[in-house]
Chain A
Amino acid sequence: MTESQSREVTFKVDGRSLRGRQGESLLEALRRYGYQVPSLCHHEAVSPYGACRLCLVEVQKGKRRKLTTSCNYPLMEGIEVFLDTEQVVSNRRVVLQLLLAQAPAAERVRQLAAEYGVNDTPFEVEDPENRCINCGLCARVCKEVVGVEAIGFSGRGAGKRMVAPYDETAEDCIGCGACVFVCPTDCIGMSETGGIRTIERWHRKLPLKTCSVCGRHFAPTFQLNKFAEWTGLPRGHFDKCPDCR
């Protein structure tokens, strides 16, 4: 952590005076104090991307007051934050209408929208089956946390899609399932049958290793081999599942 980030600052939320660290994500600071701010594309472990625009708040800095996404807003001394103002709520409704048009099949989007009284969208629905909101969280986690970068966006604008390269098998994918876990709309999918783990959206199938002690399938062999390669530990180290080690 850099020095400027660790500096303590004072800020206000709906008139209440609070403390936080300079440069930290405003959204994370708000959550620490128990404030509820909706979000879909944010995860503390990875860099913010500001894709879903749900985490809107109003921030006043000096004389200027503006609407901003809070996940990628760096906390600074003296700002005043307003949470559910009329501005915020009406803009969030529009954001939810857009998300509904983009990912009409996403349960989580529908729920959130309903909480704001949005049950319909005036925008054009391209694919009624779609659940992906193009938030990029899966790819950020794959790259920044897992260190693999097996997937990414293809195209841009209206044609932008989160895919494995060529929408074929993601050959770099180690099948760890981190992306499946973080996807806010549950549109990646993972299954295990007959000793094979499938990461559905990336068309990746990997045989699972059997624990040499308890005989349980516990992780893709490919993933364990990668771990051995990265850590320099002997492959034998990964013959047993974490419980039997």
Chain B
Amino acid sequence: MESKRLQEIVADHGKDPAQLLAILQDIQQEENYLPKETLKELARELGVPLARIYSLATFFSSFSLEPRGKHICTVCLGTACHVRGAPRLVDQVERDFAIKAGETTADRQLTLETVNCVGACALGPLVILDGEYHGNMNTAKLGRVLGSLKKE
């Protein structure tokens, strides 16, 4: 992230160390992850120890310290989705895109993530693609949904 943009975000939050979480959310929102250099700069800007920022950034699973893809595919592995075959969906994406869960493709197009139950169990197995819920997933449907990405 550009220094100027970071300073704007920090200023938007009144340069207030108590707003750290909200600032991290804004950075994550724009970059899809929290770049190391940006966090180091943030520590200086806010006068907050990097150790505190790093602890917070690694505590919440909604933050990522690794670059993520343009598209995020999240497969629910909660119990309800699991028993209805969600692991096969993970396998499918891992195979088709040659990445493991938690990883991003080399061209930064897609990140595969897993979660434990997002509370939409009735729709399971559930896949969330860029924030959009796709219920009753099976391998054929998932192939179609992800196929549209591949052609981009």
Interface of A with B (CB < 8 Å)? 139, 148-156, 164-166, 170-172
Contact = CB atoms under 8 A, between A and B. Distances in A.
B58 interface: yes
Given A148-B49, A172-B50, A154 B55 contact: yes
Contacts of B36: 166
B140 interface: no
9 contacts: A152-B49, A152-B52, A152-B54, A153-B55, A153-B59, A154-B58, A155-B59, A165-B53, A166-B54
B51 A149 contact: yes
B34 to A, nearest CB: 11
B59 A164 contact: no
Nearest to A142: B51
The 9 A-B residue pairs with the shortest CB-CB distance in the complex, in nearest-first order: A152-B55, A149-B49, A165-B54, A152-B51, A154-B58, A165-B50, A155-B58, A151-B51, A156-B59
B59 A172 contact: no
Interface residues of B, number: 10
Interface string B34-59: 00100000000000011111110011
Contact of B51 (A155, A156, A170): A170
A164 B58 contact: no
A139 B49 CA distance: 12
Contacts of B52: 149, 152
A154 B49 contact: no
Q: Is the interface of B mostly helix, strand, loop or mixed?
A: helix
Nearest to B58: A154
A172 B51 CA distance: 9
Interface in B76-127: none
Contacts of A164: 51
A170 B52 CA distance: 12
A165 B59 contact: no
A139 B54 contact: no
B59 to A, nearest CB: 5
B38 to A, nearest CB: 13
A241 B21 CA distance: 43
A156 B50 CA distance: 18
Contacts of A148: 49
Contacts of B53: 165
Contacts of A152: 49, 51-52, 54-55
A145 B25 CA distance: 31
Contacts of B54: 152, 154, 165-166
Contacts of A149: 49, 51-52
Contacts of B51: 139, 149-152, 164-165, 170, 172
Nearest to A161: B58
A172 B49 contact: yes
B55 A171 contact: no
A149 B50 CA distance: 8
A153 B50 CA distance: 12
A153 B51 CA distance: 8
A172 B54 CA distance: 13
A148 B47 CA distance: 11
